């Protein structure tokens, strides 16, 4: 992935706010007024002191008490309103971003996701997106509030003397801009490394959970646990460094604030001694300075946390910007299946040629077998027919139309694909089969299951079709999962059915039932059957043998 600068990431993330711009303006407005109320509570305290000392307060003592009460009440309501708006914006945008990410994953699947760690992707979808809440709720509006509020306070303090206004401006810039920039540069890539290693740890944990049985079987638990502890310790060390950096940076921020408060007091006192300003010109600017660092302190505190946030944002943008191997076609042609053909097809994974000048004809209503050694390109052929990848040379046609010109939805409706490994969702057996046809009736599902020789097994379960299959179908055997995958294909009832080793996990009896169902459907469906079993190939009308990227 390309390397993005923090500014580029920030601008990209800000661009997503456009639909909620009105709420953002409202939050900023309430934040500015709220912080002014908070600062002027202290400033009006100074006015009260001037009135008590008889030094010409611009506001009477009674008015001061009323205003302070009003400021306190208004500050409370506005603070609540500002935070409500910011968090509404944040969580609304997180939902929008998740929607964008899932759409991006849909576009990238399956070619671009085959080599990515599932745990790392889960980390992006969950914790990385969640981290963006810091940016949307506690970064954008605070920056706007700090800038506008600081300008107002510089004008107010500068009304006593322009030199005092300049000191205030320098103080706000130092705390709100220079300190965060220095902190960010000092932190370097710590945030990005932390997010990357966090994703790797998630992948490692998920991998170990899935392989727990194998780990126990081969007594490899100590090694896996040691590796887990090592990765956890490394991540903890990085988290500790980030936390130490945050504490040190807070100390720097507070020191800078103290220095500018003392500078304001010293300069205003000097001006007073020279008769340039009165006592009020010392008291009020100093009080105003001390009470007005709140908004810029919020920016200074973002220095370290934003490194994590930008790293998370960069990982999310990586997915959103990733280009799929094949784009979905929506303005192409719709076809009715009559035949399929591969003409001089060449395909490579990187520099490794898998298929070389391949020619295959798939007539309507026939069962075409493809046999050969592992790695000879049998499964790749089916994926190319599904257009999961684009061919490097030659073309694949459905009903005399290149698959690159057929609308993707129409192509997938014309094809049903059963892979070697059937994925089952954590749901009931019925709902796992129903995904092939969402409006299917129970009778249609039962008919498909009978063809797949799985109906009797399902009925033997305590809850029948309402039985939960568990995560990844872990409560079922490999053969049972495979038959449910076949039931999906029968329910989908596409004109062209692509079967990749559909009986590899089945016993001879169940294989015979399924092959009979395929043979009995002769004429209704066209089948491409990939298998290394000779018994499976017996029902085929024609068999292609795959070897060295070619078929004969």
Is the distance from CB of 37 to CB of 337 less than 8 angstroms?
A: no
Its domain, for residue 534, covers 339-551
pLDDT at 152: 94
pLDDT at 119: 61
Is the distance from CB of 232 to CB of 208 less than 8 angstroms?
A: no
pLDDT at 157: 93
* Residue 495, in any domain of the structure: yes
Q: Is 317 in the same domain as 450? A: no
What CATH code is carried by the domain that includes residue 249?
A: 1.20.1560.10
Query: Of 287, 321, 355, which one is at a domain's C-terminal end?
Result: 321
Q: Is 316 in the same domain as 420? A: no
89, two tokens? 């914006």
* Residue 223, in any domain of the structure: no
* CA separation for the pair 265, 154 (Å, rounded): 15
Is the distance from CB of 206 to CB of 122 less than 8 angstroms?
A: yes
The maximal CA–CA distance of the chain, rounded, in angstroms, is 110
* Residue 310, in any domain of the structure: yes
* CA separation for the pair 92, 474 (Å, rounded): 35
Per-residue model confidence as pLDDT tens digits over 301-325:
665 566 677 777 777 888 787 777 7
Instruction: Look at residues 418, 346, 350 and name the one whose alpha carbon lies nearest to residue 386.
Output: 418
Q: Is 382 in the same domain as 348? A: yes
Q: How many domains does the chain have?
A: 2
Q: Is 312 in the same domain as 360? A: no
* CA separation for the pair 114, 468 (Å, rounded): 27
State how far Cα 331 lies from the chain centre: 28
pLDDT at 471: 72
Per-residue model confidence as pLDDT tens digits over 22-34:
888 898 999 999 9
pLDDT at 522: 58
* Residue 84, in any domain of the structure: yes
pLDDT at 162: 92
Q: Is 254 in the same domain as 355? A: no
394 Rama class: left (phi>0) / alpha (psi -120 to 50) / beta = left
- Pairing verdict, β 401-402 and 415-418: unpaired
Which residues does 298 contact at the CB level (< 8 Å), separation at least 6?
138, 142, 146
User: What is residue 35's DSSP assignment?
Assistant: H
Q: Which long-range contacts (CB under 8 A, 24 or more apart) does 82-87 make?
A: 82/27, 82/30, 82/31, 82/34, 82/141, 83/137, 85/23, 85/24, 85/26, 85/27, 85/30, 85/141, 86/27, 86/136, 86/137, 86/138, 86/141, 87/133, 87/137
What CATH code is carried by the domain that includes residue 457?
A: 3.40.50.300
Q: Is 50 in the same domain as 84? A: yes
Q: Is 306 in the same domain as 344? A: no
- Strands of the sheet with 550-551, listed across from one edge: 415-418, 496-500, 526-530, 367-372, 542-547, 550-551
The segments of the chain whose pLDDT lies below 70 read: 1-7, 111-120, 183-192, 195, 246, 301-307, 472-473, 505-506, 521-523, 548-552
* CA separation for the pair 327, 303 (Å, rounded): 39
pLDDT at 456: 87
The neighbour count for residue 388, using CB atoms within 10 Å, is 16
* CA separation for the pair 318, 332 (Å, rounded): 29
Q: Is 286 in the same domain as 356? A: no
* Residue 215, in any domain of the structure: no
* Residue 359, in any domain of the structure: yes
pLDDT at 239: 77
Q: Is 245 in the same domain as 137? A: yes
Q: Is 467 in the same domain as 416? A: yes
pTM (2 decimals)?
A: 0.64
The runs of H, that is alpha helices, within 280-339 are 280-290, 294-300, 302-321
- The structure tokens 């006015």 sit at 47
* CA separation for the pair 355, 351 (Å, rounded): 12
* Residue 328, in any domain of the structure: no
pLDDT at 284: 92
Is the distance from CB of 25 to CB of 89 less than 8 angstroms?
A: no
End-to-end CA separation in angstroms for the chain:
41
* Residue 276, in any domain of the structure: yes
Q: Is 473 in the same domain as 534? A: yes
Per-residue model confidence as pLDDT tens digits over 477-491:
777 888 888 888 888
Q: Is 149 in the same domain as 181? A: yes
State how far Cα 51 lies from the chain centre: 59
Query: Of 321, 353, 374, which one is at a domain's C-terminal end?
Result: 321
């Amino acid at each position: 992935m390309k390397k993005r600068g923090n500014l580029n990431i920030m601008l990209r993330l800000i661009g997503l706010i456009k639909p909620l711009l009105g709420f953002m303006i409202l939050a900023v407005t309430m934040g500015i007024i709220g912080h002014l109320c908070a600062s002027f509570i202290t400033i009006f305290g100074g006015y009260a002191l001037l009135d008590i000392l008889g030094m010409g307060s611009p506001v009477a003592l009674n008015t001061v008490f009323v205003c302070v009460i009003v400021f306190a009440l208004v500050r409370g309501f506005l603070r609540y309103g500002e935070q409500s708006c910011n968090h509404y914006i944040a969580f609304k945008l997180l939902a929008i971003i998740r929607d964008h990410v899932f759409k991006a994953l849909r576009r990238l699947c399956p070619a671009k996701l085959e080599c990515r760690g599932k745990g790392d992707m889960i980390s992006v979808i969950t914790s990385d997106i969640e981290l963006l809440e810091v940016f949307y709720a506690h970064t954008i509006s605070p920056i706007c509030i700090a800038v506008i509020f600081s300008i107002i306070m510089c004008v107010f303090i500068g009304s006593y003397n322009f030199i005092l206004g300049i000191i205030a401006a320098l103080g706000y810039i130092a705390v709100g801009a220079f300190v965060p920039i220095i902190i960010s540069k000092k932190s370097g890539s710590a945030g990005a490394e932390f997010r990357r290693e966090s994703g790797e740890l998630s992948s490692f944990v998920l991998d170990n959970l899935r392989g727990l049985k194998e780990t126990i079987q081969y007594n490899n638990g100590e090694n896996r646990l040691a590796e887990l502890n090592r990765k956890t310790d490394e991540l903890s060390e990085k988290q500790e460094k980030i936390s130490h950096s945050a504490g040190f940076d807070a100390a720097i921020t507070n020191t800078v604030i103290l220095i500018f408060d003392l500078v304001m007091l010293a300069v205003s006192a000097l001006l007073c001694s020279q008769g340039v300003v009165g006592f009020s010109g010392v008291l009020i600017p100093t009080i105003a300075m001390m009470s007005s660092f709140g908004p810029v302190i919020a920016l200074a505190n973002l220095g370290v946390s934003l490194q994590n946030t930008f790293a998370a944002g960069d990982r999310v943008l990586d997915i959103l910007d990733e280009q799929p191997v094949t784009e979905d076609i929506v303005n192409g042609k719709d076809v009715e299946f009559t035949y399929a053909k591969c003409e001089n097809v060449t395909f490579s994974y990187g520099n490794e040629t898998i298929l070389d000048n391949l020619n295959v004809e798939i007539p309507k209503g026939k069962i075409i077998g493809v046999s050969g050694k592992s790695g000879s390109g049998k499964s790749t052929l089916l994926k190319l027919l599904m257009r999961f990848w684009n061919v490097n040379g030659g073309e694949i046609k459905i009903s005399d139309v290149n698959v690159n010109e057929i609308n993707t939805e129409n192509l997938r409706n014309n094809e049903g694909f059963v892979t070697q490994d059937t994925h089952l969702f954590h749901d009931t057996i019925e709902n796992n089969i129903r995904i092939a046809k969402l409006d299917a009736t129970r009778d249609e599902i039962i008919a498909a299951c009978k063809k797949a020789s799985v109906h009797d097994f399902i009925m033997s379960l305590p809850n029948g079709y309402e039985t939960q299959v568990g995560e990844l179908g872990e409560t079922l055997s490999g053969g049972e999962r495979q038959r449910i995958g076949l039931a999906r294909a029968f329910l989908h009832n596409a004109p062209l059915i692509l079967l990749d080793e559909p009986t590899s996990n089945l016993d001879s009896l169940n294989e015979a039932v399924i092959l009979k169902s395929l043979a009995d459907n002769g004429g209704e469906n066209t089948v491409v059957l990939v298998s290394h079993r000779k018994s499976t190939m017996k029902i085929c009308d024609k068999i292609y043998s795959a070897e060295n990227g070619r078929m004969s």
